Amino acid sequence: MYINSSYKNNSVLDFKDKSKPLVVGSCGTYRLSSHPKLPTYRPRGRLDFQIIYIASGRAYFHFGRPENETIVTAGNIVLFRPKEFQKYEYYGADKTEVYWIHFTGSDVKNILRKYGFPDDRRVFPVGTSLEYERVFKRIISELQRCQDDYEEMLVLLLRHLLIIFHRESGKEHTPKNEYLSHEMEAAVSYFNENYNRDINIEEYAGSRGMSVSWFIRNFKKHTGTTPMQFVTSIRMTNAQMLLETTNYAVNEVARIVGYENPLYFSRLFRKQKGCAPSFYRNQGAVAGGNKP
């Protein structure tokens, strides 16, 4: 099981805060593979609001009472309001991946209504998108790093998330092609697990019985990016993390994320991040980054 979460003021306790219209309290993600089950049971609910986004797999919710069961699949969000009964489970067999966020404030109900979340609904179809995951990860990072004005940034990011959810929930979601969805999810999983190896898109497509053009076209529809752009983004994100949190030399960072040629890695990093890896590391040190 993979977990990454962060909490305002490093406290896992839920809270109610009416001092501002919107306050983000915590955010995180779970990804199950071999772990058999992850249950949550809160008979009295929480003091704050919660959104759960099912990115892959499925989750089992018991709305209202324990004996009720609703299966919520990938591409949906669940909204819990304060003091609502909460019981739900994720299972490793489903390869479930979820993102969650807790928030409070004096104007949350009106904000949710504005963005298309009425008081009488819990489940909203929004489709799957890497953009959602990017925003969730940014919120987690902001809570962990607590940089200047991070609380305001958290509110902006949550509003951004609500807006893109609203845009997608207004669309008519056609039934998925199960074969296509399975193949694209398999590709995403493969690239995530093997991004630091020598990946040949033509060979991968051929190994799955797909033409290269068909695979690239449908992967982009599924994720919003081409396969190599997807792999490069993973590599650069992990390189960024290594530059921030370790003292590895740039050429070693390049090798770890999948580049034998450090000059080529540096050119790609500059293109993606706007500066050379060494400059990025030095700026982080000056700003008091996360390096030990």
Domains of the chain: 2-169 (2.60.120.280), 178-292 (1.10.10.60)
Q: In what order do the strands lie in the sheet with 49-56?
A: 2-7, 23-31, 97-104, 49-56, 76-80, 123-125
Identify whether the C-beta of residue 83 lies closer than 8 Å to the C-beta of residue 50: no
Give the global pTM.
0.61
3-state secondary structure 93-137: HHCCEEEEEEEECCCHHHHHHHCCCCCCCCEEECCCCHHHHHHHH
Q: What is the pLDDT of residue 10?
A: 87
Q: H or E stretch including 71?
A: strand 70-73
Q: What is the pLDDT of residue 284?
A: 61
Nearest to 21 by CA among 117, 147, 110: 110
- Estimate to the nearest angstrom the gap between the alpha carbon of 237 and the chain centroid: 13
Sequence-distant (≥ 6) Cβ neighbours of residue 234 within 8 angstroms: 191, 192, 195
The tens place of each residue's pLDDT in the chain, 292 residues long, gives: 889 999 998 888 899 999 999 999 999 999 987 778 999 999 999 999 999 999 999 999 999 889 989 999 999 999 999 999 999 999 999 999 999 999 999 999 999 999 999 988 999 999 888 899 999 999 999 999 999 999 999 999 999 999 999 988 866 555 556 778 888 989 999 999 999 999 999 999 998 888 899 999 999 998 899 999 999 999 999 999 999 889 899 999 999 999 999 999 999 999 988 899 999 888 764 444 443 3
Identify whether the C-beta of residue 70 lies closer than 8 Å to the C-beta of residue 87: no
pLDDT tens across 220-275, in order? 998 899 999 999 999 999 999 999 889 899 999 999 999 999 999 999 999 988 89
DSSP-H helix ranges across 13-169: 108-114, 130-145, 150-169
